[in-house]
A and B are shown apart, each in its own frame.
Chain A
């Protein structure tokens, strides 16, 4: 289970959750990450499950 993460224009972090649609996660990243935006594919275990401070998430 993987997720795609990228930094938003507001400085936060967006997390893309792939659907079971027949596309690879690389194809989904190419399609759903905003153009010219760096991203990283990570294991779901790297995404915090505690969303109390969701707005404070950052990605370097």
Chain B
């Protein structure tokens, strides 16, 4: 494998393609890395950084619709304030961290919790409730999965 470091043109990695990086590849960067048109800033400090493995932003009201997503094959509308995120590619196990942030303009609070049994490697189900514990459909539902 050859990696070309060029002060003008950046880093050329001809053996890296859409299938992902070669196993065992490591790199030590002191600046920014550009992937496509996106610049990934090198984090400061020595704490490791972990990327999001799946995410989705959807509208839970009216005709439920996905605004944008990554590694999500679908969402399931199970009922009022009850949704499942189905992963396009499964997680390695069910020990991931599912982060849900939801709400609607003008609404004070929305509480989110895990329901429907334990999370699985292929799906993450949760509910959205008002601060009075009434199931509610938020305008904005954002989910991120870390592992």
Whether, in the assembled complex, A40 has its beta carbon less than 8 Å from a beta carbon of chain B, the answer is no
Choose one: A15, A19, A20, A50; the contact of B77 (CB below 8 Å): A15
Q: Mark B53-77, 1 if CB is under 8 A from A, else 0.
A: 0001010011111100101111111
Task: Assess A18 versus B62: contact at CB under 8 Å? Given A23-B88, A54-B80.
Answer: no
Docked CA distance A20–B88 (Å): 10
Task: Assess A55 versus B86: contact at CB under 8 Å? Given A15-B64, A18-B74, A31-B73.
Answer: no
For chain B, what secondary structure do more than half of its interface residues adopt (helix, strand, loop), or is it mixed? strand
Choose one: A16, A21, A44, A54; the contact of B88 (CB below 8 Å): A21
Whether, in the assembled complex, B78 has its beta carbon less than 8 Å from a beta carbon of chain A, the answer is yes
Pairwise interchain contact B76-A51, C-beta atoms closer than 8 A: no
A55 to chain B: which residues have CB within 8 Å?
Answer: 79-80
Pairwise interchain contact B80-A51, C-beta atoms closer than 8 A: yes
Q: Please give the number of chain A residues whose Cβ is less than 8 angstroms from any Cβ of chain B in the complex.
A: 23
- Other than the given A12-B79, A15-B64, A19-B88, 14 more pairs (CB < 8 A) read A4-B74, A8-B79, A14-B78, A15-B77, A17-B65, A17-B74, A17-B76, A18-B73, A19-B74, A21-B72, A21-B73, A21-B88, A50-B62, A54-B137
Binding site for B on A (CB under 8 A): 4, 8, 12, 14-23, 28, 31-32, 44, 47, 49-51, 54-55
